[in-house]
């Protein structure tokens, strides 16, 4: 269980968004969806998610740039960011980690494993809030 807040899913592809939402809601997580960086930033003004799932390929500001922004801001730097990388190109993972992502998931999403992967990146239930 999430325990402390929703998961913010930043994903511009409607099919991937729907799939991610269905799988994670079925696992007991609350999901907030954002189609682009602007929507994600607006969500973060109002809500502190437990985790951000970040598609790297977004229209406008891309996911790497948005992650760098979040990790540079004291208010958001402690929120774990897990990248969704469409193309398992050599170097993409390194780029994601270099931008400050805490981990990455390769698309297409493995729906059977997604809840466990997400759970592994969630803040520990007993850990103090930042
Ligand atoms: Mn995309």
- 59 CA → ligand 1 middle, Å: 7
Both tokens of residue 112? Answer: 């059977």
The phi and psi torsions of 81 (rounded to 5 degrees) equal -120, 120
What per-residue confidence (pLDDT) applies to 126? 60
Q: What is the CA radius of gyration of the chain?
A: 13
CB under 8 Å to 115, separation ≥6 — which residues?
23, 24, 26, 27, 29
What per-residue confidence (pLDDT) applies to 127? 59
Residue ranges, the chain, pLDDT below 70 = 1-4, 87-89, 125-130
Pair 47, 32: CB distance under 8 Å:
yes
What per-residue confidence (pLDDT) applies to 2? 41
Listed residues: CB within 5 A of ion ligand 1: 12, 55, 57
What per-residue confidence (pLDDT) applies to 1? 44
- 105 CA → ligand 1 middle, Å: 13
Rounded Cα distance, 49 and 4, in Å: 8
Nearest to 99 by CA among 128, 130, 49, 61: 61
Q: In residues, how long is the chain?
A: 130
């Amino acid at each position: 269980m999430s325990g402390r807040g929703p998961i913010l899913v930043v994903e511009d592809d409607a099919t991937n968004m729907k799939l991610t939402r269905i799988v994670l809601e079925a696992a007991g997580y609350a999901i907030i969806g954002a189609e682009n960086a602007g929507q994600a930033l607006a969500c973060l003004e109002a809500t502190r998610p437990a985790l951000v799932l970040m598609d790297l390929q977004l229209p406008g500001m891309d996911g790497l740039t948005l992650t760098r922004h979040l990790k540079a801001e004291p208010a958001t730097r402690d929120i774990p960011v897990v990248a969704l990388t469409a193309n398992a190109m050599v170097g993409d993972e390194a780029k994601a980690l270099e931008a400050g992502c805490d981990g990455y998931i390769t698309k297409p999403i493995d729906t059977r494993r997604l809840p466990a992967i997400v759970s592994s990146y969630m803040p520990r239930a007993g850990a103090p809030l930042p």
